[in-house]
Amino acid sequence: MPATDTHRTIEAVFRIESARLIAGLARIVRDVGVAEELAQDAFTVALRKWPDSGVPDNPGAWLMATAKRRAIDLLRQRTLHGRKHEDLTRALRAERAEAAPRAEAAVDDDIGDDLLRLMFTACHPLLSTEGRVALTLRLLGGLTTPEIARAFLVSEATVAQRIVRAKKTLADARVPFEVPRGPDLAARLSAVLEVVYLVFNEGYTATAGDDWMRPALCDDALRLGRILAGLVPQEPEVHGLVALMEIQASRSGARTGPSGEPVLLLDQDRSRWDRLLVRRGLAALDRAERLGGLRGPYALQAAIAACHARAGTAAETDWPRIASLYDALVQLTQSPVVELNRAVAVAMAEGAAAGLELVEALASEPSLAGYHLLPTVRGDLLARLGRLPEARAEFERAAGLTRNARERDLLLARAAACEPASPPSEGP
């Protein structure tokens, strides 16, 4: 395999394995910052060795073994929170013994999942909400700083500062690497849900790169969401989030064409939607409604997704119902992005002119200044109103703002489709 191909393979492996690697190391060294450094060290060793030796049959296990050796080397040189090398060696032996269930472990840890421990640790109340989400996206979602910045509509420097500050705060406070219980669990749950939601969104529509979707992220978010639903079965918003993700994930097979190009919702072949995931999502939504009604942001979004899932065709979609649900969501969140989505629903229910009026009101919103979906929506509504030159300009502007290659191609194609047809030439 050529060296460049090997490097791409290594990067892909690390992207897939990094969260599990960091989580497993954090259980050993009890410091997420050190765990991330050890994981990066193992990745560096792989970049040096694998081009010659080849990618191992079990690359995740290879990276973990290498990182553990690095941990021992590190603690030979200095103590980690006062623990000497012998202490770490005992910890590693104890870790192997943990494979056998113990009664006290069942009491102290209801989940037994390193990734979830890492998530709750990263969502500790000591951190700001922004710091919790950014750190968890970095450690568990495997997202880069630019990708997180895009998700939050803030600068890359801001995200980088949040991550560094969060890791330092956790290390200085010696926050235990564990799943909280009781009041502490409730206090951290909303931040955990936000993280799971944003990880899923990054997988559902990638902010950058050559792929429209990153299914592995959706799978991880769904897995964590289902585990959370088992941990707090009486919490309606957990079921609301699971419902939203299940229904959204059901469309994955219809969201791309033969060459990986995006297929928009109204153009999708609904026979390709995964009906099992739809049923699971609707069942989770039913649980959320029975527990608390449609009062939370995730349950409301799941109800919107359910309107699409229940429609046999795009034409059968209950757009007035969706617009009404978005009204409630806007009142709850006060989010400009939600207001933009509401404008789309209003346009479908009442006509493009009504939607465009709402979009124009968002034009001066600072947080949407670099948000490519604002000109995308405006371009779509202008095209529907026959204002093709203006629509073309909006699609081109949106193409310049997105960092996803597939989405850029789609937007440029939509811009080209707005070119007025040339009049027939006159004969001699």
Give the burial string for 233-261 (b: 16+ CB within 10 Å, else e).
Answer: eebbbbbbbbbbbbbbbbbbebbbeeeee
Q: What is the pLDDT of residue 53?
A: 87
What does the pLDDT read at residue 147?
80
The pLDDT of residue 396: 97
H helices present in 101-144, as ranges: 103-108, 114-122, 129-139
Superfamily of domain 318-419: Tetratricopeptide repeat domain (1.25.40.10)
What is the C-alpha to C-alpha distance for residues 228 and 187, in angstroms, rounded to an integer?
14
The first and second tokens of residue 116, run together, are 């979830």
Positions of the chain with pLDDT under 70: 1-3, 75-112, 153, 421-428
**What pLDDT does residue 106 have?**
32
The C-alpha atoms of residue 259 and residue 270 are separated, in whole angstroms, by 19
- The whole-angstrom separation of Cα 251 and Cα 204 is 10
State how far Cα 6 lies from the chain centre.
27
pLDDT of residue 90: 62
pLDDT digits (tens, 9 = 90+) for 173-184: 988 888 888 787
This prediction's pTM: 0.77
Task: Single out the residue of 130, 180, 116, 127 nearest to residue 159, CA to CA.
Answer: 130
Q: For 327-369, how does the pLDDT look when each residue is reduced to its tens digit (9 = 90+)? A: 999 999 999 999 999 999 999 999 999 999 999 999 999 999 9
DSSP result, 232-254: STT-HHHHHHHHHHHHHHTTGGG
For residue 80, the cross-strand partners are 83
